[in-house]
Structure 1
């Protein structure tokens, strides 16, 4: 079976919401490879998870920034887990709550032994922002491998998307934990989803 066939079978198979975590002690056992999705609020994390798994409403999507307020775990066929992290940069909530989510996310990213890769989602229309670079630096310091995924590429011209990719790739070269390849995706048009599935499958198997 080819990598493409294996990835298609995995992501088309059972995928279930496990639990939402608000405290480190409530994390599930670290017995499966995990892939986390991070990014600014409203960057399209939930939409990307839905596109990867071929579902419409596995992960809740919202036009309200800061909707995800816990670490949401999804079990993909008992082979790996997807983790939807709270969006950073904005949330309609109290400073106390925002600080709690931020602290929980940082503790998870720093201390999860089975975390294979963090996907940092960047809106292709806006490129990297200071808060994104801050998150990248945190992962560099914690030696957590991560990869940048550009979202919403259907909203701009292909040449503009490639220009953004080139700029982001150049910046990523200065970050030791960053994967050199930058993915271009559109959850709405299903662009780049197949390639991301295949890379995640290969990484989980390695």
Structure 2
């Protein structure tokens, strides 16, 4: 009996598959401020979540190789809608509003949680939530609250540490261990943490490969005898 493949290890073919996926056209196609406005659920969805100013827009832009695909608001917490992007007609990337913004009223924060919970719990095509944490900042109560929310929604989530270039290797490993211990408490957490930097490109190829595993397979063109492919 052979051992099962390690899901944290990517082959050269998987890294290339991730590169090719994100080399495809990526277009914004829908913005939804309420749950009853969601687009049809047609293909696998990968949602990006995180505190305001965690670097979510920068990460999406780095993954897709486009500088202005996802735009960060100058005022934390200003973006209030779910933004949907079609990537190569194989997977949908969903940019979720940031949470944890200090200036927001309690009612606004509760509305965010209720709206996001309804999306997370009811979206049949949602394959995974990528939950972003800033590697330089300690985990906040709002981070733990969102992990609890994901547990309740029974949605698989994976931690992505951003801005990892700002830490020296020893401090970064200490941070990774700290977060790994935290996610060990959550039933819906995927155990593999991805370390990234939108500035240096650190971990971008691995995250692309991770998403490619969840995307629809590319359409194969079949050549008929006597017909050009």
Task: Tell me which interval the TM-score lies in, with the shorter structure as reference length.
Answer: over 0.9
* Whole-Å separation in 1 of the counterparts to 2:138 and 2:211: 23
Q: CA deviation at 1:2?
A: 2.1
- RMSD of aligned C-alpha atoms? 1.8
Q: Quick check: which has more Rg, 1 or 2?
A: 2
Q: Contact 2:91–2:216 at 8 Å: present in 1 too?
A: no
Match of 1:37 among 48, 64, 70: 48
* Greater share of residues in helix: 1
Q: Are 1:177 and 2:223 an aligned pair?
A: no
* Whole-Å separation in 2 of the counterparts to 1:129 and 1:42: 14
Q: Contact 2:43–2:216 at 8 Å: present in 1 too?
A: no
SS in 1 for 2:29: strand
Match of 1:104 among 115, 139, 143: 115
* Whole-Å separation in 1 of the counterparts to 2:28 and 2:49: 18
Q: Contact 1:149–1:183 at 8 Å: present in 2 too?
A: yes
- Which residue in the other structure is 2:9 paired with? none
- Which residue in the other structure is 2:152 paired with? 141
| Aligned CA distance change for structure 1 residues 32 and 205 (closer, same or farther; 3 Å) | closer
Q: CA deviation at 1:139?
A: 0.9
TM-score norm. by structure 1 comes to: 0.93
| Aligned CA distance change for structure 1 residues 162 and 205 (closer, same or farther; 3 Å) | farther
- 1:169-199, Cα deviation, whole Å (9 max, x unpaired): 0111111110111111001111101000001
TM-score norm. by structure 2 comes to: 0.84
Moved segments of 4+, more than 6 Å: none
* Whole-Å separation in 2 of the counterparts to 1:134 and 1:107: 15
- Which residue in the other structure is 2:89 paired with? 78
SS in 2 for 1:66: coil
Q: Contact 1:34–1:80 at 8 Å: present in 2 too?
A: yes
**Structure 2: runs of 5 or more not aligned:** 1-11, 218-229
Q: CA deviation at 1:96?
A: 4.7
- Which residue in the other structure is 2:207 paired with? 196
What is the count of residue pairs matched by the alignment? Answer: 206
**Structure 1: runs of 5 or more not aligned:** none
- Which residue in the other structure is 2:136 paired with? 125
